[in-house]
């Protein structure tokens, strides 16, 4: 029973990890919360759904969801973020909020506000591994997440684009002096952010075999907590914190009652902010007060 | 004129400050007598601004004591130290970007009297503060800039506003961090005259400066700081010919 | 006035108070994304007092404001350690925790909500809303407000001109929380039913939206913003299913063209025929 919960928690956690990374890519280099990430996640899910409903295979659905979300993410960067780059943080944040409002309205109009459901025969196979009964879909979710996170980690650590990303995150002005195009890097960050959010959307939509236009908000907020707990600028931090929080949530619901779980998750987030602001795996650049 | 109080207004005793492995200040002892103008000079990186930061409580002293008019203020929070009668200006001007010149002349003034004075509109509730701000505006010749927002001001005016703001706090001791940096000769002369005028009115001044001519003609006493320690002190005439001082400045221009 | 219009105006008054609660805290340079939490506390405390202990509404509101301000001050202290976006995220967490707390608080209904409050008139709501707005308009011309703005512009320099930045920042949280609590108490006695979902992130964001949209440097901005947020979706009804998208578009357009929000000090001075400020 416990092991079963652990697997469920891991699956949920995998989704959190992807969205947390989507947030932290933008947060790391721009220090703003892209409030549209939740809706990008939702939008990607819908696109993935549409592909599946057309009887195309899962990988295509995944790619379609990622691509769709990435495109919208870039549009958001150009329209809502770029012109407000030097405004105080709340302004571009609210601008991304405006985008999320628009996106949600569009999705509701195109697909309706009632939940969409998949015929559940798809991906219903379950596999038994000892005492645990894992759904095929859960394996897919966890597997895809690991692949994607690995890809992002590789990108950030081993490629020149990744180096540029880290440079801009470290110090935007110096990076520019060294020839890094902050604009192009920002674009890249938004692009990857969109891909990850979109992938998460497809995965969770297929996992629950249902999707609504409103899944973005709650999961989005939780993912922010995951990002903070894992460490805002550490890829592996998100990979650690996601499952941690997913499992904590699942266990709290199973053994403590579903209502307490938010208290636990956000309480942990606040504790981390106050006591270990760089997150569990360290390294976040927090705003330090100016020196005289 | 202020009543003469014998003894030091500000006394630093064996101040030490380290940042990690770097010893920014070691065993610095200094006195600013009432009504005197004291200068702190030394090569770049000698620890002069660090010294100011320790005095004003922006940094906590690692060792030693800071005593203001008999009271030990070493570990007081900044705002309390400033309220006790110290005001300062900054090497890189720190104005309040979104506030007007007029607002700068009000905001630093001490609270005098009831709480109500502070929460009700200034114009009615605290006419004394209003008047003091008017005085400062005129004294510094800032009337034309009264409603200008700080970030739009030319550099020279910003410096004046910073000085004016510091003085509206009614300090006994004014700390100036490189007040003539970037000024031409005439502007520096203007400032020197102003400072002497303020000193004559009872203000004690402690200043950091690189400009030797300025310092020599203004200060009653000088301290020379190098690598965080005092290497010489005395009257300007003595300092200028002190071989230890000249040695410390080797490589930097020293006007004779 | 029709019930429909009265409802809209009530919403504006309540949103105005919520927006002002964010405005007060923002004036010291702190962005709070969790003020719906303080609103919720005010709502539940005021409702408990009027329904269970049969207090009249006005003392209940004051008690609610006081309790919330104590929580606000408690929140304000750890908030000193955080800056910028991290503070915003922490306050977001706080708001969610409050919401979650009331979800679990079965004594007052938990997720089922709470009811039993007496309905209060539109006039009463606006007596509070206008009163507090007026109070703030006076306060904006005070030295205390100058000190808050100094802390906002340069906290370190503010400390070095003798301002007690701790007291200012923590006090702002306390004051903001009190105002949000009043919004909550009035909300409870207008809708006569409350549930934790009323006090979530969307509500907190609405407050922030009203302030930023209407004008983040003047109290009147909160009034304009609150009016816009309540009325725009109504005026845009002719767009039927697309009105939210239109709202989002308008929001982005305003932010792109006028970052400080629609109203700011110079514009306000011009509009009120007072000409230049002193």
DSSP string covering B82-105: HHTTEEE--SS----TTSBHHHHH
Same domain as B211, residue B115: no
Q: How far apart are CA C194 and CA C40, in angstroms?
A: 9
- CA nearest B94 in A: which residue? A292
> Which residues of A, range 25-54, sit inside 8 Å of C by Cβ?
27, 31-33
Question: C162 and B119 in contact by Cβ < 8 A?
Answer: no
- CA nearest A222 in C: which residue? C93
| Residue A248: closest CA among A235, A266, A234 | A266
- The residues pairing with B38 across neighbouring beta strands, listed in sequence order, are B206, B221
Does B100 lie at the interface with A, CB-CB under 8 angstroms? no
Any chains having at least 3 CB pairs less than 8 A from chain C are: A, B
Question: C149 and B97 in contact by Cβ < 8 A?
Answer: no
Dihedral sign for Cα atoms in the order C55, C56, C62, C68: positive
C-beta separation of C96 from C200 below 8 A: yes
Please tell me the distance in Å from C158's CA to the nearest CA on chain B: 8
Residues of B with CB under 8 A from a CB of C: 56, 58, 77-80, 82-83, 87-88, 90, 94-99, 102-103, 106-111, 117-123, 125-126, 129, 147, 165-166, 169
Read off the pLDDT band of A292 (50, 70, 90): very low
| pLDDT value for B115 | 81
b/e sequence A46-70, b meaning 16+ C-beta within 10 Å: bbbbbbbeeeeebeebbbbbbebbb
Residues of A with CB under 8 A from a CB of B: 291-292
Same domain as B178, residue B246: yes
- The residues pairing with B31 across neighbouring beta strands, listed in sequence order, are B11
Token output for C220: 């009147």
> Which residues of C, range 183-242, sit inside 8 Å of B by Cβ?
217
- Alpha carbons within 13 angstroms on the beta-carbon side of residue C136 total 28
Q: Which of C111, C241, C244 sits opposite A101 (nearest CB)?
A: C244
Question: Average pLDDT, whole number, for chain A?
Answer: 85
Please tell me the distance in Å from B57's CA to the nearest CA on chain C: 8
Q: Using one digit for the tens of pLDDT, what is the confidence trace for A223-256? A: 999 999 988 777 788 888 999 999 988 888 887 7
Same domain as B103, residue B80: no
With vertex at residue A209, the alpha carbon angle to CA C99 and CA A202, rounded to the nearest 5 degrees, is 80
- CA nearest B53 in A: which residue? A292
Please tell me the distance in Å from A288's CA to the nearest CA on chain B: 14
CB contacts of A87 in chain B (<8 Å) are: none
Residue B80 resides in a domain: yes
Q: Which of C146, C164, C278 sits opposite B79 (nearest CB)?
A: C164
> Which residues of C, range 127-146, sit inside 8 Å of B by Cβ?
138-139, 141-144, 146
Judged by average pLDDT, the poorest of B245-249, C124-128, C265-269 is B245-249
DSSP state of C236: G
- CA nearest B50 in A: which residue? A292
Please tell me the distance in Å from A221's CA to the nearest CA on chain B: 33
C-beta separation of A7 from A207 below 8 A: no
Question: A260 and C100 in contact by Cβ < 8 A?
Answer: yes
Q: Domain boundaries in chain A? A: 20-215
CB contacts of A277 in chain C (<8 Å) are: 82, 86
Please tell me the distance in Å from C278's CA to the nearest CA on chain B: 8
C158 SS3 class:
helix
- Domain end (from B108, B137, B170): B170
C-beta separation of B50 from B226 below 8 A: no
Read off the pLDDT band of A120 (50, 70, 90): low
pLDDT at residue C158 tops 70: yes
Q: Which of A90, A274, A292 sits opposite C156 (nearest CB)?
A: A292
- CA nearest B93 in A: which residue? A292
Q: Tell me the mean pLDDT in the region A90-99.
A: 91
| Residue B231: closest CA among B10, B27, B36 | B27
C-beta separation of A192 from A101 below 8 A: no
Question: B121 and C141 in contact by Cβ < 8 A?
Answer: yes
Q: How far apart are CA B108 and CA B103, in angstroms?
A: 9
- Domain end (from B112, B137, B170): B170
| pLDDT value for A286 | 45
Does B49 lie at the interface with A, CB-CB under 8 angstroms? yes
With vertex at residue C269, the alpha carbon angle to CA C267 and CA C272, rounded to the nearest 5 degrees, is 105
CB contacts of B90 in chain C (<8 Å) are: 157
Residues contacting residue B221 through CB under 8 Å, at least 6 positions apart:
B36, B37, B38, B39, B233, B234, B235, B236
- State the angle between helix axes of A235-256 and A215-230 in degrees (0 to 180), rounded to the nearest 10: 120
The interface pTM score, or ipTM, of the predicted complex is 0.88
Q: Tell me the mean pLDDT in the region C107-121.
A: 91
Chain centre distance of CA B80: 16
Output the domain CATH number for residue B229.
3.40.50.300
pLDDT at residue A89 tops 50: yes
b/e sequence C231-253, b meaning 16+ C-beta within 10 Å: ebeeebeeeeeebbbbbbbebbe
- The residues pairing with A194 across neighbouring beta strands, listed in sequence order, are none
| Residue A91: closest CA among A43, A40, A30 | A30
Burial class (CB in 10 A: 0-12, 13-18, 19+), B65: middle
| Residue A49: closest CA among A246, A215, A193, A192 | A215
| pLDDT value for B148 | 94
H helices present in A82-179, as ranges: 90-111, 136-158, 160-170, 172-177
Question: C245 and A105 in contact by Cβ < 8 A?
Answer: yes
DSSP state of A77: I
> Which residues of A, range 77-136, sit inside 8 Å of C by Cβ?
79-80, 83-84, 87-91, 94-95, 97-102, 104-106, 108-109
Question: Residue B256's domain spans which residues?
Answer: 1-85+171-256
Any chains having at least 3 CB pairs less than 8 A from chain B are: A, C
Q: How far apart are the first and last CA of chain C?
A: 40
| Residue C278: closest CA among C152, C269, B125, C216 | C269
**For the whole model, what pTM was predicted?**
0.90
Q: How far apart are CA A11 and CA A141, in angstroms?
A: 6
A184 or A292, which is more confident: A184
C-beta separation of C141 from B122 below 8 A: yes
Does C149 lie at the interface with B, CB-CB under 8 angstroms? yes
Q: How far apart are CA B210 and CA B23, in angstroms?
A: 22
Judged by average pLDDT, the poorest of A206-210, B137-141, B157-161, C61-65 is A206-210
A129 SS3 class:
strand
Any chains having at least 3 CB pairs less than 8 A from chain A are: B, C
CB contacts of A76 in chain C (<8 Å) are: none
Q: How far apart are CA B22 and CA A167, in angstroms?
A: 27
Q: Using one digit for the tens of pLDDT, what is the confidence trace for A5-28? A: 888 889 999 999 999 999 988 888
DSSP state of C105: -
Count of Cβ atoms closer than 10 Å to residue C153 Cβ? 19
Share of chain A above pLDDT 90, in %: 38
pLDDT at residue C48 tops 50: yes
- CA nearest B92 in A: which residue? A292
CB contacts of A291 in chain B (<8 Å) are: 58
Judged by average pLDDT, the poorest of A177-186, A201-210, C150-159 is A177-186
Question: How many helical (H) and strand (E) elements, i.e. helices and strands, does chain B have?
Answer: 11, 10
How does DSSP assign C125-141, residue by residue? HHHHHHHHHHHHHHHTT
Q: What is the H or E stretch that residue A22 is in?
A: helix A2-30
pLDDT at residue C225 tops 50: yes
- CA nearest C84 in A: which residue? A287
Residue from C152, C229, C233, C256 whose CB has the most chain A CBs within 10 Å, to mutate: C256
Question: B90 and A291 in contact by Cβ < 8 A?
Answer: no
Question: C251 and A286 in contact by Cβ < 8 A?
Answer: no
Please tell me the distance in Å from C136's CA to the nearest CA on chain B: 10
Name the stretches of chain B with pLDDT < 50.
Answer: 1-5, 256
Highest mean pLDDT among A56-65, A222-231, B103-112, C177-186: C177-186
Q: How far apart are CA B150 and CA B97, in angstroms?
A: 5
| pLDDT value for A249 | 87
Same domain as B242, residue B228: yes
Q: Using one digit for the tens of pLDDT, what is the confidence trace for C2-26? A: 889 999 999 999 999 999 999 999 9
Question: A291 and B49 in contact by Cβ < 8 A?
Answer: no
Q: Domain boundaries in chain C? A: 3-199
Judged by average pLDDT, the poorest of A80-84, A285-289, C183-187 is A285-289
- Domain end (from B151, B170, B189): B170
Q: Which of B97, B107, B123 sits opposite C161 (nearest CB)?
A: B107
Question: Count of CB contacts below 8 A, B vs C?
Answer: 92
Residue A276's φ and ψ, nearest 5 degrees, are -145, 70
Read off the pLDDT band of A124 (50, 70, 90): low
Contacts 24+ apart (CB under 8 A), A113-119: A113/A212, A113/A213, A114/A212, A115/A210, A115/A211, A115/A212, A116/A46, A116/A49, A116/A210, A116/A211, A116/A212, A117/A209, A117/A210, A118/A49, A118/A52, A118/A53, A118/A205, A118/A206, A118/A209, A118/A210
C-beta separation of C125 from C185 below 8 A: no
| pLDDT value for A192 | 94
Q: How far apart are CA C265 and CA C270, in angstroms?
A: 9
Read off the pLDDT band of C111 (50, 70, 90): confident
């Amino acid at each position: 029973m416990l092991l079963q919960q652990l697997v469920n928690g891991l699956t949920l956690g995998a989704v959190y990890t992807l969205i947390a990374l989507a947030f932290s890519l933008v947060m790391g280099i721009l220090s703003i919360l892209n409030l549209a990430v939740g809706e990008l996640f939702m939008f990607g899910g819908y696109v993935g759904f549409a592909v599946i409903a057309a009887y195309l295979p899962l990988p295509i659905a995944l790619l379609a969801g990622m691509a769709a979300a990435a495109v919208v993410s870039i549009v958001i960067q150009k329209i809502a973020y770029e012109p407000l780059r030097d405004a105080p943080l709340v302004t571009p944040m609210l601008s991304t909020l405006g985008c999320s409002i628009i996106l949600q309205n569009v999705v509701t109009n195109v697909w309706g506000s009632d939940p969409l459901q998949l015929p559940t025969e798809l991906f219903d196979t379950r596999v038994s591994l000892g005492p645990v009964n894992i759904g095929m879909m859960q394996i897919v979710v966890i597997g895809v997440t690991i692949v994607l996170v690995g890809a992002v980690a590789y990108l950030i650590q081993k490629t020149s684009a990744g180096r540029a990303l880290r440079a801009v995150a470290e110090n935007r002005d110096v990076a520019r002096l060294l020839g890094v195009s902050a604009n192009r890097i920002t674009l890249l960050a938004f692009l990857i952010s969109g891909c990850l959010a979109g992938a998460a959307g497809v995965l969770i939509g297929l996992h629950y075999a249902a999707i609504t236009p409103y899944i973005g908000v709650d999961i989005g907020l939780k993912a922010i907590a995951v990002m903070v707990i894992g460490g805002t600028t550490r890829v592996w931090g998100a990979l650690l914190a996601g499952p941690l929080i997913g499992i904590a949530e699942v266990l709290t619901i199973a053994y403590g009652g579903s209502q307490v779980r938010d208290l636990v998750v956000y309480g942990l987030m606040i504790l981390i902010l106050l006591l270990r602001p760089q997150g569990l795996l360290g390294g976040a650049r927090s705003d330090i007060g100016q020196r005289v | 004129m202020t009543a003469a109080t014998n003894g030091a207004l500000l006394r630093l005793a064996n101040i030490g400050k380290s940042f990690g492995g770097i010893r920014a200040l070691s065993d610095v002892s200094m006195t600013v007598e009432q009504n005197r103008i004291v200068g702190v000079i030394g090569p770049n990186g000698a620890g002069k601004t660090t010294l100011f930061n320790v005095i004003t409580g922006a940094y906590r002293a690692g060792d030693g004591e800071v005593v203001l008019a008999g009271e030990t203020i070493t570990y007081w929070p900044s705002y309390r130290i400033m309220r006790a009668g110290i005001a300062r200006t900054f090497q890189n001007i720190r104005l309040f970007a979104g506030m007007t010149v007029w607002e700068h002349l009000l905001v630093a003034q001490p609270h005098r009297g009831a709480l109500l004075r502070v929460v009700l509109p200034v114009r009615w509730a605290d006419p004394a503060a209003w008047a003091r701000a008017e005085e400062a505006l005129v004294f510094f010749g800032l009337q034309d800039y009264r409603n200008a927002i700080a970030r739009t001001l030319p550099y020279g005016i910003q410096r004046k506003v910073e000085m004016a703001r510091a003085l509206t706090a009614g300090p006994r001791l004014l700390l100036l961090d490189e007040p003539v940096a970037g000024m031409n000769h005439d502007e520096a002369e203007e400032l020197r005259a102003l400072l002497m005028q303020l000193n004559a009115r009872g203000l004690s001044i402690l200043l950091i400066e690189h400009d030797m001519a300025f310092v020599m003609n203004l200060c009653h006493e000088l301290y020379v700081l190098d690598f965080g320690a005092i290497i010489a002190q005395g009257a300007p005439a003595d300092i200028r010919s002190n071989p230890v001082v000249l040695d410390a400045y080797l490589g930097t221009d020293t006007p004779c | 006035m029709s019930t429909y219009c009265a409802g809209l105006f009530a919403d504006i008054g309540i949103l105005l108070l919520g927006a002002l609660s964010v405005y007060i805290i923002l004036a010291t340079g702190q962005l709070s994304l969790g003020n719906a939490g303080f609103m919720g506390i005010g709502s539940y405390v005021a409702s408990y007092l009027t329904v269970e202990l049969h207090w009249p509404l006005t003392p209940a509101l004051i008690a609610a404001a006081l309790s919330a301000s104590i929580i606000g001050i408690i929140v304000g202290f750890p908030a000193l350690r955080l800056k910028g976006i991290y503070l915003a995220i922490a306050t977001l967490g706080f708001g969610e925790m409050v919401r979650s707390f009331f979800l679990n608080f079965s004594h007052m209904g938990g997720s089922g909500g709470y009811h039993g409050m007496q309905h209060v008139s539109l006039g009463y709501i606006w007596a509070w809303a206008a009163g507090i707005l007026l109070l703030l308009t006076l306060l904006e011309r005070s030295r205390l407000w100058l000190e808050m703005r100094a802390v906002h512009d340069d906290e370190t320099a503010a400390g070095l001109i003798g301002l007690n930045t701790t007291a200012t920042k923590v006090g702002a949280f306390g004051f903001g929380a009190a105002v949000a609590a009043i919004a909550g108490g009035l909300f409870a006695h207008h809708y006569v039913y409350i549930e934790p979902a009323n006090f979530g992130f969307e509500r907190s964001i609405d407050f922030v939206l009203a302030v930023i949209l209407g004008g983040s440097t003047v109290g009147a901005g909160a009034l304009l913003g609150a009016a816009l947020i309540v009325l725009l979706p109504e005026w845009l009804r002719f767009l039927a299913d697309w009105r939210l998208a239109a709202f989002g578009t308008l929001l982005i357009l305003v932010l792109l063209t006028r970052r400080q929000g629609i109203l700011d000090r110079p514009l306000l001075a011009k509009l009120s025929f007072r000409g230049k400020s002193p």
